[in-house]
Amino acid sequence: MRAPSLLRALVVRLTLVVLLALAGSCLVLYLEFRDGLWGLEGQSIAVQVQDLRASVVSETGSPRLELPPSLQAFYAQPDSLNGYQLLSAEGTVLESGGFTAPYLPLPIAQGTGQIVMQRETDALSGNKVMAASLDIDHAHGPYWLRVVRDLEDAESLVSQLMLGALEELYWSIALLLSAVVGVVVLTVRSSLRSLRAVSHQASRLSLHRLDERLHAKNLPRELVPLVQAVNDSLDRLEADYRVQREFSANAAHELRTPLATLRARLESRFSAQELGDVAFEIEQLARLVEQLLCLARLDSQEQFQFAVFDAHAVALEVARELAPLALDSGHYVTAATPDASVPAHGNATLTRLVFRNLIENAIQYTPAGTTITLSADAAAVIIADDGPGIAAHAAAFLFERFRRGLNASGPGAGLGLAIAKRIMERQGGRLSLDPNAARGARFVVEFPKLLARAEN
């Protein structure tokens, strides 16, 4: 499952906020515009009422209207949205013209002599209607003079005006959204740039670089406590790791002298035949102590002397030294490229230990009759064998400390490959197992100068 993107979340949310704000603004403008238009409509029909009031004729009977030709033509227009009504006090229509709303209720107030405005919904047509009513005192009783206007056209006019305005503002709104998204993207990217730098620093941390700390420079204020907490944790880890490393180094160092003294005393009192396996066990214990001391030195901040040397020549020397051991166990050591040269920059003494551990492992973990081949190319020294190879599940933890293979036939503590890999790391090089080897195990030893040449 992919982790959620902060940039995407901010862009989506802010875009929605802008769209909702625009929609809310349009709604407010629509309502304000509609109320303003209705106010103009109300003023207009109020004037019409006054004009009609001047046309009322009062005689001995009920009042009636004598409209001038201009008003007659106005109310007689086809599909007229305006109409007038002369009503009795009970609401009976005595006279009307133009648009009518027969089911529009009468105003409650009467006898005030003031124009009463109404905004109702016509029960017959369902249209929104505005009416201006004026009560008329007459000898035969009160009457109502009312002007009615259909507001559906006004609603339509407001909608058309708003849509027209939106069409005019379409490109402005699109530019505004683009600007908002662009500002959000640039702001978030610039804010996360320092966080990416801290993440890069954190990805480089390891047990061998515990002295490094994360920098809080240019970080957002909210993330500074997190970085400080991580640095505090690294301080505690480094202190604990130093204590453990110093304990291992001190213990191994203290064991070296008693073991040497014990071996010397035993050899002075007993013959080799009398000692038997005791001498062998002491030798293995002494070797384990030396390996632990070597790891302690490699894990420390001790600086080793580096120089230019021929890595292939060093590997050949180690192979010659181990040839008798290989022959005794039924193995063969050969050099596929005896005249090759691999110039390298590092510590030749430590590099000898790398080749020794690789060849000894090949002797120990492969059956008799296996051939161990030493070769070189323009970029590396290669030590390979034609044995059964290394299973994929075992290759995953091959370079871990105190790990031994299932078919190990000799003594050992599982530190040889771990020491070899750490030596190469301290020299800036690389030790790896070739996963594409056609047969057996194939270890590739690369050095800094060779890495740079290969990358170029």
Lowest pLDDT segment from 90-94, 109-113, 230-234, 392-396: 109-113
pLDDT of residue 405: 56
Residue 39 lies inside a defined structural domain of this protein: yes
What's the rounded Cα separation, in Å, for the pair 120 and 106? Answer: 11
pLDDT of residue 266: 72
Contact between 377 and 453 under an 8 Å Cβ cutoff? The reply is no
- At residue 451 the predicted structure's pLDDT band, cuts being 50, 70 and 90, is very low
Of 110, 131, 156, the one marking the end of a domain is: 156
What's the rounded Cα separation, in Å, for the pair 206 and 7? Answer: 30
Is 323 in the same domain as 288? no
Contact between 118 and 131 under an 8 Å Cβ cutoff? The reply is yes
Residue 181 lies inside a defined structural domain of this protein: no
What's the rounded Cα separation, in Å, for the pair 165 and 168? Answer: 5
pLDDT of residue 274: 67
pLDDT of residue 254: 59
Region 190-201: what's the mean pLDDT? Answer: 80
Is 352 in the same domain as 277? no
Is 365 in the same domain as 449? yes
* pLDDT at residue 413 greater than cutoff 60: no
- Which residues fall within 8 angstroms of residue 23, CB to CB, at 6 or more apart? none
* pLDDT at residue 450 greater than cutoff 50: no
pLDDT of residue 100: 74
The CATH number linked to 291 is 1.10.287
In one-letter notation, the amino acid at residue 71 is L
Residue 436 lies inside a defined structural domain of this protein: yes
Tokens 């002075």: give the residue: 268
Residue 358 domain boundaries: 307-455
Tokens 């009783």: give the residue: 141
pLDDT of residue 456: 44
- Which residues fall within 8 angstroms of residue 326, CB to CB, at 6 or more apart? 332, 333, 359, 363, 372
Residue 208 lies inside a defined structural domain of this protein: no
pLDDT of residue 331: 92
Is 269 in the same domain as 348? no
Edge-to-edge strands of the sheet including 82-88? Answer: 93-98, 82-88, 143-150, 128-136, 116-121
Is 317 in the same domain as 283? no
Is 145 in the same domain as 125? yes
Of 247, 276, 299, the one marking the end of a domain is: 299
- Which residues fall within 8 angstroms of residue 443, CB to CB, at 6 or more apart? 358, 382, 383, 384, 431, 432, 433, 434
What's the rounded Cα separation, in Å, for the pair 456 and 450? Answer: 10
The CATH number linked to 51 is 3.30.450
Region 151-155: what's the mean pLDDT? Answer: 66
How many structural domains does the chain have? 3
Distances (CA, A) of 414 to 21, 246, 408, 441: 68, 21, 10, 17
What's the rounded Cα separation, in Å, for the pair 378 and 360? Answer: 25
The CATH number linked to 315 is 3.30.565.10
Q: State the pTM of this model.
A: 0.45
* pLDDT at residue 207 greater than cutoff 70: no
Lowest pLDDT segment from 164-173, 185-194, 340-349, 389-398: 164-173
Lowest pLDDT segment from 92-96, 260-264, 301-305, 391-395: 301-305
What's the rounded Cα separation, in Å, for the pair 392 and 398? Answer: 10
Lowest pLDDT segment from 52-66, 240-254, 339-353: 240-254
Selected residue with higher pLDDT from 243 and 119 = 119
Residue 76 lies inside a defined structural domain of this protein: yes
pLDDT of residue 455: 45
pLDDT of residue 154: 61
Is 267 in the same domain as 318? no
- At residue 37 the predicted structure's pLDDT band, cuts being 50, 70 and 90, is confident
Region 91-114: what's the mean pLDDT? Answer: 76
Region 1-15: what's the mean pLDDT? Answer: 71
Selected residue with higher pLDDT from 370 and 262 = 370
What digits encode the pLDDT tens for the residues 355-410?
988 898 888 888 888 999 999 887 788 999 988 888 777 777 777 766 665 555 55
Identify the CA nearest to 421 among candidates 343, 353, 339, 375.
353
Identify the CA nearest to 98 among candidates 116, 85, 115.
85
Contact between 352 and 411 under an 8 Å Cβ cutoff? The reply is no
Residue 228 lies inside a defined structural domain of this protein: no
- At residue 291 the predicted structure's pLDDT band, cuts being 50, 70 and 90, is low
Of 101, 125, 156, the one marking the end of a domain is: 156
Backbone angles phi, psi at 326, to 5 degrees: -65, -40
* pLDDT at residue 71 greater than cutoff 70: yes
SS3 state at 3: coil
What's the rounded Cα separation, in Å, for the pair 227 and 212? Answer: 13
Is 17 in the same domain as 147? yes
* pLDDT at residue 43 greater than cutoff 80: yes
Contact between 148 and 100 under an 8 Å Cβ cutoff? The reply is yes
Give the whole-number percent of the chain exceeding pLDDT 70. Answer: 76
Identify the CA nearest to 369 among candidates 404, 326, 399, 312.
326
pLDDT of residue 452: 44
The distance of Cα 324 from the centroid of its chain, to the nearest Å, equals 59
Residue 201 lies inside a defined structural domain of this protein: no
Q: Could you tell me how many residues make up the chain? A: 456
Is 429 in the same domain as 393? yes
Is 418 in the same domain as 362? yes
Selected residue with higher pLDDT from 258 and 329 = 329
Average pLDDT, the chain: 77
pLDDT of residue 114: 83
In one-letter notation, the amino acid at residue 246 is E
In one-letter notation, the amino acid at residue 335 is A
Residue 203 lies inside a defined structural domain of this protein: no
Selected residue with higher pLDDT from 362 and 302 = 362
Is 148 in the same domain as 241? no
Is 271 in the same domain as 403? no
Contact between 116 and 175 under an 8 Å Cβ cutoff? The reply is no
Give the whole-number percent of the chain exceeding pLDDT 90. Answer: 3
